[in-house]
């Protein structure tokens, strides 16, 4: 039986055979720890009634494990040089489709409808996300009209800490609010940097995200909610009042409107954005942008 792609010996053989050199600009780090790959699949709880989207399959180390458990796997690989490698490593798995495309530019609904034979099955995203575009990729999936039930994704531990952070902590920010608005987030386990080739500078974390049936808080205008959140964290050391007046304006009418909103929501303008809960951000947004507007 052919050794797994992630087996360190086979990884080296494939790298040599195809003369592959890592591109730092694409954040390429290949997993070579079989136990960690098994654990990722365990966290994702895949079965034959699940379709999976993977981003950045590399040489197929995780893809192989996904293929053995899921119904179908759709993998987006931006690096044309890896298509030949993946044609070899994924040859034994007819349920894998690799698309040579930047996932951020992909029409997810269109591609999945073309690839997945049974579109009724739940879709999960399971991937070792490239470090340099972790946040844009996650938001791309969260904001897509495609129904995604769960995400089990690997990222820098620091980014995972930011996503799972609560109010009043240093790590809490607009990313925490944006992700927690849509999904419940928890860190499943930590992956040491020694599990990769080449070895990155930092440890990684596996984040398990489950889509909420309804968003964490009720807002009348999502766009305004996220804009207000971003404004509140614009300069972390500044007070909420300073950040909001920088964003909305400093004329008297605007100041009066902001003062009234903060007072109505019982939020001290001297607080910093990082101390506000999702509910407080929602209350403030709903006061500033009522339902009938």
Q: Looking at the domain assignment, is residue 1 inside a domain? A: no
Tell whether 184 is in a known binding site: no
Q: pLDDT value at position 225?
A: 97
Q: Which residues pair with 206 in a beta bridge?
A: 154, 189
Q: Looking at the domain assignment, is residue 107 inside a domain? A: yes
- Residues 40, 93 within the same domain: yes
Please give the tally of structural domains in the chain: 2
Tell whether 31 is in a known binding site: yes
Q: Looking at the domain assignment, is residue 103 inside a domain? A: yes
Q: What is the mean pLDDT of residues 277-292?
A: 94
- Residues 55, 149 within the same domain: yes
Q: Looking at the domain assignment, is residue 81 inside a domain? A: yes
Supply the DSSP symbol for 24: G
- Largest distance between two CA atoms of the chain: 75
Return the CATH number at 245: 1.10.8.100
Q: How confident is the model at residue 293 (pLDDT cuts 50, 70, 90)?
A: low
Tens-digit pLDDT profile for residues 258-268: 999 999 999 99
Residue after which a domain boundary falls, among 211, 239, 269: 211
Residue after which a domain boundary falls, among 211, 237, 252: 211
1 has a pLDDT exceeding 60: no
25 has a pLDDT exceeding 70: no
Q: pLDDT value at position 250?
A: 94
Q: Give residue 259's domain range.
A: 222-288
Q: What is the mean pLDDT of residues 185-195?
A: 95
Query: What is the number of other CB atoms lying within 10 angstroms of the CB of residue 293?
Result: 8
288 has a pLDDT exceeding 90: yes
121 close to 50: Cβ distance less than 8 angstroms = yes
- Residues 137, 25 within the same domain: yes
Tell whether 56 is in a known binding site: yes
77 has a pLDDT exceeding 60: yes
Cα 233–Cα 187–Cα 158 angle in degrees, nearest 5: 45
Q: pLDDT value at position 30?
A: 81
Reported in sequence order, the residue ranges of the chain that DSSP labels E, i.e. its strands, are 30-31, 51-55, 72-76, 96-99, 123-128, 150-156, 183-191, 196-197, 204-211
Tens-digit pLDDT profile for residues 79-106: 899 999 999 999 999 999 999 999 999 9
Q: pLDDT value at position 197?
A: 80
- Residues 138, 246 within the same domain: no
Return the CATH number at 200: 3.40.50.150
Q: How confident is the model at residue 198 (pLDDT cuts 50, 70, 90)?
A: confident
Tens-digit pLDDT profile for residues 114-146: 999 998 999 999 999 888 789 899 989 988 889
Q: pLDDT value at position 139?
A: 87
Calculate the average pLDDT of the chain.
93
- Residues 278, 183 within the same domain: no
Tell whether 256 is in a known binding site: no
């Amino acid at each position: 039986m052919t050794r797994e792609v992630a087996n360190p010996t086979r990884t080296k053989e494939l790298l040599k055979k195809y003369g592959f050199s890592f591109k730092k600009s694409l954040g390429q780090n290949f997993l070579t720890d079989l136990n960690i790959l098994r654990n990722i699949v365990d966290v994702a709880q895949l079965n034959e009634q699940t379709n999976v989207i993977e981003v950045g399959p590399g040489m197929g180390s995780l893809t192989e494990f996904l293929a053995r458990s899921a119904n179908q796997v759709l993998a987006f690989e931006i690096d044309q040089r890896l298509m030949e490698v993946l044609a070899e490593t994924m040859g034994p798995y007819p349920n894998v489709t690799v698309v040579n495309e930047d996932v951020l530019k992909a029409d997810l609904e269109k591609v999945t409808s073309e690839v997945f034979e049974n579109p009724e099955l739940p879709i999960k995203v399971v991937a070792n996300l490239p470090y340099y575009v972790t946040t844009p990729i996650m938001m791309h999936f969260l904001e897509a009209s495609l129904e995604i039930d769960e995400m089990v994704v690997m990222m820098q531990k620091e980014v995972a800490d930011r996503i799972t952070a609560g109010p009043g902590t240093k790590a809490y920010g607009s990313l925490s609010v944006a992700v927690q608005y849509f999904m419940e987030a928890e860190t499943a386990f930590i992956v040491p940097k020694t599990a990769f080739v080449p070895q990155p500078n930092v440890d990684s974390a596996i984040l398990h995200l489950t889509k909420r049936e309804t968003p964490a808080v009720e807002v009348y205008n999502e766009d305004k909610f996220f804009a207000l959140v971003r404004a509140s964290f614009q300069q972390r050391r500044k007070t909420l009042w300073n950040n909001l007046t920088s964003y909305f304006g400093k004329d008297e009418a605007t100041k009066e409107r902001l003062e009234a909103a903060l007072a109505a929501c019982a939020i001290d303008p001297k607080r910093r954005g990082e101390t506000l809960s999702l509910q407080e951000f929602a209350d403030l947004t709903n006061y500033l942008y009522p339902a009938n507007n």
